[in-house]
Structure 1
Amino acid sequence: MVVWALLADAVPLYPLYALLFTATGLSVAEISALFAIWSAVAVLTEVPSGALADRFSRRSCLAAAGFLQAAAYTAWVLMPGFPGFALGFVLWGFGGSLASGAKEALLYDGLAAAGAQEHYARVAGRVAAMELVAQIPVAAAATWLFSAGGFGLVGWVSVGTCAAAGVVAAALPEPPRYGGDEDIGYLATLRSGVAEVFRSPGVGAVAAAAALLAAFDAIEEYFPLLVSDWGVAAAAVPLATLPIVLGGTAGAALGGAARLLPRWGLGVLLGVATAFLAVAAEAAHPAGVIAVAVFYGGYRAVLVAVDARLQERIASRSRATVTSVAGLGTEIATFGAYAAWAAGGVSWLVVAGVVIAAALPRLLR
């Protein structure tokens, strides 16, 4: 699973695809329309794809996610233009939904089959850390590949890494479900998973906590803007944000330790981390990147711990569906994070972090 995470995020197109769109001649409105298509597909397919994983195969869904993303970038390379880009975002959006929920279910039930489910937070933290680590070599690789062969070479290498992730996912062992009848139909599986969120004691509240926390990760999109506003030259921004990535990586890797904290301890940890973000924003100095790194490390540790609490409360037969319901909540709440930034920049996100930290102990009861 760790190898899968590295390949799935080692995509050199990530830091360049917005430039690909502009180089192709797309307008700002057309680029915004592409992102809207991507978001709409993710919202519409999030929960149905989770039920697919529960009814049929989590491993197959995770593998299909890689192959669909590879197909998306193939469309971008072969059909550069709005129709090709839109098709790519439809494929990528659906692929991302297939992975959401299936990844957590496959990992948790795999550990449970080995009698090691208590190690989920530690292992999931390693997987999350690897997803962040992949960003470091990808930035350098993207620069070199673009210099050597332009967007075409970057695109084909991205196709290869996504397809490789699909191959690795297809080789993962898939344990049997437990705790219910696995032979019910797709619609019954979907209804059962959604019902568990609202009817099973404690599941809905923890799912809400997981959704809000994951949506808060939208702040990652603004780290380059934050550093740039502090006077860092544009060419140095990728290097300047590296400590933040390393901080998040360390925090995710320590998610297993954070899982041992009581629910109020997780709230305190997130509150303290958010205080570092507030200090950085107030200082408005390049050195503030260290404080942001501390914030991001604490936040990622809490995110892993809350995900572990959610998985512990879900029945195996509905694990991917329930996790996807939380993912849908994340997709919706993320729009709130974007609105908070538009309204007041990082200061409003600090307020959001404080509110979430205060709500955690009650939601995790």
Structure 2
Amino acid sequence: MGWAALSELVPYYPLYALLFLDTGLSQAQVSLLFAVWSVTGLLAEVPAGVLADRWSRRGVVVLAGVLQAAAFVVWTAAPAPWTFAVGFGVWGVSGALVSGASEALVYDGLAALGAEGSYARVNGWMTSAELLVQVPTAFAASALFALGGYAAVGWVSVAVCLAAAALALRFPEARGDAGDDEEEALREGLRDTLRRPGLRLTVLAVALLGGLDAVEEYFPVVSGDWGIPTAAVPLAVLATALAGAAGGALAGRAEGLPDRALPALLVAAGLLLGAAALWARPAALVAVSLFYGLYIMVLVVGEARLQHRITGPHRATVTSVAGLGIEIASLPVFAAWALAGAGGVAVVVLVVVPLVAAGLRSRVGQVAG
């Protein structure tokens, strides 16, 4: 949990979208940058999972932190549209490296202790830690911006990413042998995902759910659009982070809810986001916060059900297939925001509910992966 918290203690997070706007980019151009980020992650996702299974999940997480620091160096040293695109490309590779590897690292560590049934609770608390750390991050971002503008925010962010990479060096690593051939490992991971209907549906559900998280990138933007001064934006979005942390902390209990409850929670989340878009006032951030808390709860349960349905040495590869789906699913979210703002994203949330419901049914049995 310490690594999860430190990796999110990045002052750039609540402010980088505003950096882009203040550099002269339009909201549509910002969405294009986010799309560059997603496409890069999409291309790197599955190879990154294979690398984690074949080489070292711990090593891949360390490398991800170093690459993220490099992306922020580029942004801070020479802020411009093209450097933002380059930085997002590097960050996209970093995100691909950490996504499948970190979940596989945690699940296999619990499995080695005979505690894999606790994954939803542990993953929920890790998600909560990542969101709760946004409280000190918001204060740090505001203070650093006041003291030294975006440059101070950027260089401290570089230091935090390197510190998180150093901390990841201490992770234990417990996993089975993935075999000797990388191409064969990739084929096996993809085959296990595609040939088993239960796992296929769960991967699809997690991909659709994870793609919706792209909306988080716009929380600072809507805060500014709805009348919050730039220096106060990091503090204004804290309620959203706290609500998400609460949703993550409750995910362990939510995993035992009836099948129909999780889609209902997602529908409620989508309606709340739509209402906030119509209201478009500072107070509408309350509805955005409630949306995010419900959404994170459903997402963590989905991630846990996916991990429970995978066994074997290709866990990171299969998880990365879901990560690939997440990157693809985030593109319609970026497009919806560019076309219709938060209201457009609310429509996307409601559209994916039937597929999410099918993939998260608890009666789908565990399958080999």
Fold match by TM threshold 0.5: yes
**Residues 152-181 of structure 1 deviation map (CA, whole Å, 9 limit, x = unaligned):** 43333212211111111110100122xxx5
Report the Cα distance in structure 1 between the residues aligned to 2:51 and 2:331, rounded to whole angstroms. 26
**Residues 317-354 of structure 1 deviation map (CA, whole Å, 9 limit, x = unaligned):** 11111111111111111111122233433333333222
Contact persistence 2:144–2:152 (CA under 8 A): yes
**1:14 partner letter:** Y
Following superposition, the deviation at residue 292 of structure 1 comes to 2.5
Partner of 1:318: 314
**2:301 partner letter:** A
**Residues 171-217 of structure 1 deviation map (CA, whole Å, 9 limit, x = unaligned):** 0100122xxx5223111111111111101241111011001111112
**Percent identity over paired residues:** 49
- The yes-or-no answer on 1:276 pairing with 2:276 is no
Contact persistence 2:206–2:306 (CA under 8 A): yes
Contact persistence 1:241–1:289 (CA under 8 A): yes
Contact persistence 1:263–1:360 (CA under 8 A): no
Partner of 1:167: 166
Report the Cα distance in structure 1 between the residues aligned to 2:151 and 2:288, rounded to whole angstroms. 35
Q: Report how many residues are paired.
A: 360
Choose the corresponding residue for 1:209, options 202, 205, 208.
205
Report the Cα distance in structure 2 between the residues aligned to 1:345 and 1:72, rounded to whole angstroms. 27
Residues 73-92 of structure 1 correspond to what in structure 2 (within 5 A)?
73-78=72-77, 85=84, 87-92=86-91
Following superposition, the deviation at residue 132 of structure 1 comes to 1.4
Contact persistence 2:42–2:324 (CA under 8 A): yes
Following superposition, the deviation at residue 85 of structure 1 comes to 5.0
Per the normalisation by structure 1, the TM-score is: 0.88
SS at match of 1:263: coil
Residues 85-234 of structure 1 correspond to what in structure 2 (within 5 A)?
85=84, 87-177=86-176, 181-228=177-224, 230=226, 232=228
Change (3 A) 1:201 1:358: closer
- The yes-or-no answer on 1:257 pairing with 2:253 is yes
**2:135 partner letter:** I
Contact persistence 2:17–2:221 (CA under 8 A): no
Change (3 A) 1:272 1:79: closer
Change (3 A) 1:84 1:119: same
**Residues 259-295 of structure 1 deviation map (CA, whole Å, 9 limit, x = unaligned):** 1123222112222333333444444554333232222
SS at match of 1:317: coil
Report the Cα distance in structure 2 between the residues aligned to 1:151 and 1:233, rounded to whole angstroms. 15
Change (3 A) 1:283 1:87: closer
Following superposition, the deviation at residue 115 of structure 1 comes to 0.6
**1:360 partner letter:** V
Following superposition, the deviation at residue 83 of structure 1 comes to 6.6
Which ranges in structure 2 are unaligned for 5 or more consecutive residues? 362-369
Following superposition, the deviation at residue 66 of structure 1 comes to 0.8
Partner of 2:342: 346
- The yes-or-no answer on 1:41 pairing with 2:15 is no
Report the Cα distance in structure 2 between the residues aligned to 1:72 and 1:230, rounded to whole angstroms. 30
Per the normalisation by structure 2, the TM-score is: 0.87
Contact persistence 1:26–1:81 (CA under 8 A): no
Which ranges in structure 1 are unaligned for 5 or more consecutive residues? none
Task: Tell me how large the CA RMSD over aligned residues is.
Answer: 2.7
